[in-house]
């Protein structure tokens, strides 16, 4: 009886009736991403508000029943992504920093509210993903855990640079709890440490103290923090990879890291390529990360400019970032990507002049279509295999009421949404990744890569049929081990009880 109880408990806690394997989560093998035992590439989506807004429903005293309006909205969004062929998303595991210490943290530190609010929101978010066979990179947002309630008040520099700080202890306790709770859930694709903490390093020369007294960490402190947090997460969850959630580095990242306390002005020169690459290597080469994770947005104004080693200007782009990552020995992931609408600010030096840039996705203007298409094309041609578009169907009132809102969805912006879906197909085609659909007619027992169909031994000797997109059968042969697929384009394959849809 005791063994039966333990088995039931395992199933309840894990959300599955079987043990997860490396195939169930994102991994890096031979420098490329793998999922479900096969090479993987995708333009997925940020659905950052999934857990966040479910939490707010509970905070407002509502329950997450199936007729709760926010549950209906979030489930609808995830279903729409799944039906569009999307396999993976990214969302925030707790709330925005402005509400973290006033709302979320007091609830989390109350045992009953932790169960009824914090856990209930995350449980529901992951369950919705699993309902539609979507897997999520969950940002743990570790940079939120700065404890300002101790005396003297702690800062982000204490969280990053002092392993004995109360902030670090709070964060470590949270990691122990939340990762143990969800590490057996198939809906968790990978863990993310923070959101853009790389932009909090060395931002003020000399003092590194902001106008409101906040002490920021140095690059060296963040480097050690990444090592510590990666080791902590992997000591709890040995299966999953850990990503940084870091944005791109500032164009003067190296120069800022070299400033002393007596140097109070920003560096006069941008980093050289070698210097800039050295900063990425410091953060990613020996810290426990298996990939390099950046956030990159296409803008009108020239951006991300550094110097070639000979002193000439170098405009960094997606392709060059991918080359930089591969030269360090890690595949690139662009955790946030898209075409960034023009700011409503009057900074003409930054945004330049003219009317050819778009101001919002709303209405799907010709300029919005043009630059979304450009971003899609650049994503496909970048060489990067894993990209997350910002963002899908935000339900936050401030986003819905924003005339410059950035989210896309199938109803409000169908043309722009389809452009990203088409780019996702082209990315998979470029890297010879098979496409499957969330439909019971398609079973994922085989996988396709590099012109070969990889099949289980049980299918050898059975009839293999290949059809084109018009339903015309192109080949009818007896399946052998890993047969070559010569036909090009959209194909449908039938072998035994398995059906696949691929691009070759």
Tens-place pLDDT, residues 206-215: 778 887 888 9
| Separation CA 136–CA 46 (nearest Å) | 9
What does the pLDDT read at residue 8? 40
3-state helix, strand, coil in the chain (%, to 5): 40, 20, 45
Mapping DSSP to helix (H, G, I), strand (E, B) and coil, where does residue 339 land? Answer: strand
What does the pLDDT read at residue 319? 97
Tens-place pLDDT, residues 402-453: 888 899 999 999 999 999 999 998 998 888 665 554 444 555 567 776 677 8
Mapping DSSP to helix (H, G, I), strand (E, B) and coil, where does residue 365 land? Answer: coil
Q: Which CATH number fits domain 2-430: 3.40.30.10, 3.30.300.130, 3.20.20.80, 3.10.105.10?
A: 3.20.20.80
Beta strands in 12-77 (DSSP E): 27-29, 32-35, 38-39, 42-46
List helix spans (H) across 384-462: 397-400, 414-430
| Separation CA 430–CA 383 (nearest Å) | 9
Ranges of each domain in the chain = 2-430, 447-503
Cis peptide, bond prior to residue 236, ω within 30 of zero: no
| Separation CA 491–CA 504 (nearest Å) | 7
Compute how many other C-beta atoms are within 10 angstroms of the C-beta atom of residue 22. 15
What does the pLDDT read at residue 487? 79
Tell me the torsion sign for CA atoms 381, 387, 392, 396. negative
Backbone φ and ψ for 207, nearest 5 degrees, come out as -75, -35
Q: Six-digit token pair at 27?
A: 């991994």
- Judge contact between 265 and 205, C-beta under 8 A: yes
Q: Six-digit token pair at 18?
A: 């079987």
pTM greater than 0.75 (yes/no): yes
| Separation CA 267–CA 253 (nearest Å) | 9
How does DSSP classify residue 250?
Answer: P
Question: CB burial class (10 A; 0-12, 13-18, 19+) of residue 63?
Answer: exposed
What does the pLDDT read at residue 447? 74
The residue with tokens 């429903």 is 57
| Separation CA 305–CA 226 (nearest Å) | 26
Q: List the chain residues with pLDDT less than 70.
A: 1-18, 343-355, 432-445, 449-450, 470, 504
The residue with tokens 């070759």 is 504
Question: CB burial class (10 A; 0-12, 13-18, 19+) of residue 3?
Answer: exposed
């Amino acid at each position: 009886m005791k063994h039966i109880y333990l088995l039931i408990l395992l199933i309840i806690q894990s959300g599955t009736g079987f043990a997860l394997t490396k195939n169930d989560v994102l991994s890096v093998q031979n420098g490329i991403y793998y999922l479900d035992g096969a090479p993987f590439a995708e333009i997925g989506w940020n659905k950052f508000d999934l857990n966040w807004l479910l939490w707010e429903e509970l905070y407002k005293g509502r329950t997450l029943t199936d007729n709760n309006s926010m549950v209906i909205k979030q489930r609808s969004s995830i279903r729409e992504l799944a039906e569009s062929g999307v396999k993976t998303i990214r969302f925030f595991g707790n709330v925005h920093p402005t509400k973290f210490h006033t709302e979320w943290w007091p609830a989390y530190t109350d045992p009953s509210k932790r169960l009824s609010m914090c856990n209930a929101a995350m449980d529901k978010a992951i369950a919705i993903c699993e309902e539609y066979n979507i897997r999520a990179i969950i940002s743990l947002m570790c940079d939120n855990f700065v404890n300002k309630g101790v005396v003297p008040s702690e800062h982000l520099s204490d969280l990053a640079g002092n392993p004995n700080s109360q902030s670090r202890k709070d964060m470590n306790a949270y990691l122990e709890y939340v990762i143990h709770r969800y590490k057996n859930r198939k809906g968790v694709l990978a863990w993310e440490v923070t959101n853009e903490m790389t932009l909090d390093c060395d931002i003020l020369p000399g003092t590194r103290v902001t106008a409101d007294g906040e002490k920021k960490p140095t690059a060296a402190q963040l480097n050690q923090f990444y090592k510590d947090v990666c080791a902590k997460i992997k000591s709890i969850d040995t299966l999953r990879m850990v990503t940084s959630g870091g944005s791109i580095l500032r164009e003067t990242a190296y120069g800022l890291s070299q400033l002393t306390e007596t140097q109070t002005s920003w560096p006069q020169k941008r980093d050289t390529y070698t210097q800039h690459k050295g900063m990425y290597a410091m953060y990613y080469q020996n810290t426990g990360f298996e990939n390099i994770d950046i956030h990159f947005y296409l803008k009108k104004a020239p951006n991300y400019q550094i110097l070639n080693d000979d002193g000439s200007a170098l405009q960094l782009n997606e392709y060059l970032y991918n080359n930089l990552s591969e030269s360090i020995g890690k595949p690139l992931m662009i955790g946030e990507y898209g075409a960034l609408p023009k700011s409503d600010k009057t900074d003409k030096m930054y945004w330049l002049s003219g009317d050819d840039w778009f101001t919002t996705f709303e209405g799907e203007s010709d300029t919005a279509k043009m630059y979304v298409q450009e971003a899609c094309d650049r994503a496909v041609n970048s060489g990067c295999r894993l990209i997350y578009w910002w963002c899908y169907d935000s339900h936050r009132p401030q986003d819905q009421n924003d005339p410059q809102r950035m989210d896309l969805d199938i109803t409000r912006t169908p043309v722009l949404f389809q452009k990203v879906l088409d780019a996702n197909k082209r990315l998979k085609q470029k890297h010879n990744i098979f496409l499957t659909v969330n439909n019971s007619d398609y079973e994922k027992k085989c996988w396709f890569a590099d012109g070969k169909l990889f099949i289980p031994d049980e299918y050898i000797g059975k009839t293999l049929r290949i059809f084109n997109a018009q339903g015309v059968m192109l080949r009818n042969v007896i399946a052998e081990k890993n047969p070559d697929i010569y036909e090009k384009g959209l194909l449908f394959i039938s072998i035994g009880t398995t059906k696949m849809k691929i691009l070759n």
